[in-house]
Amino acid sequence: MIKQTLADTEEKMAKSLEIFERDLSGMRAGRAHPALLDRVLVEYYGVSTPLQQLAAISVPEPRMLVVQPYDKGATGAIEKAVQKADLGVSVRIEGTLLRVSVPPLTEERRKDLVRQLRRRVEEEKVTVRNVRREAVDAIKTALKNRELPEDEARRAETDIQKMTDRFVKMIDEIGESREKDVMTP
């Protein structure tokens, strides 16, 4: 029972960390990166479709993304979706290609992004702590129902806390790394 609880807890925390990293990769840092367009949904034949399913995205220059639609008819819809996403980029159509220019970030915008990043880091820590709370509650319930001895329950709670500390440290490290990226001109 304890091994399963620990395994489930670690799996939930790892999944949460993976989603956190994916979310941060889409945060603008002054350089062009295909993940910048990950959350762009294009209205395509009446269905909201992720941009990466409709086009190939490449980075020919540090401040430029090139979006090449698989269907030439989707070019206008893709342009509207990127502009509507309010990413602070400019879009220019050249034939069937879209060139997305990523302007350099102002100091004020960098500070705003760092505030958003810190808020997101705290939210992620809360998520990990909630997973810890669920696991500790499961251990306490098992102890209350006399399904496991008190010393094993205490040991399991200690293991869960160590796991939580490890994941919180990883979240902090990822956040600090991303903050350096954002603040670097």
pLDDT at 185: 67
CATH tag, 2-26+106-183? 1.10.132.20
Rounded Cα–Cα distance for residues 70 and 74 (Å): 8
CATH 1.10.132.20 region(s) of the chain?
2-26+106-183
Name beta bridge partners: 57.
Answer: 67
Q: Over its length of 185 residues, how does the chain's per-residue pLDDT go in tens digits?
A: 788 988 999 999 999 999 898 887 766 666 777 888 888 899 988 889 998 899 999 989 888 899 999 988 888 899 999 888 877 788 999 988 999 988 887 888 788 888 988 999 999 999 999 999 999 999 999 888 888 888 988 999 999 999 999 999 999 999 998 888 878 76
The pLDDT, as a whole number, for residue 85 is 83
> Does the reported pTM lie above 0.75?
no
Residues 6+ apart with CB under 8 A from 97: 66, 67, 68
CA separation for the pair 174, 147 (Å, rounded): 39
| Per-residue pLDDT, 127 | 95
CATH number given to 34-101? 3.30.1360.40
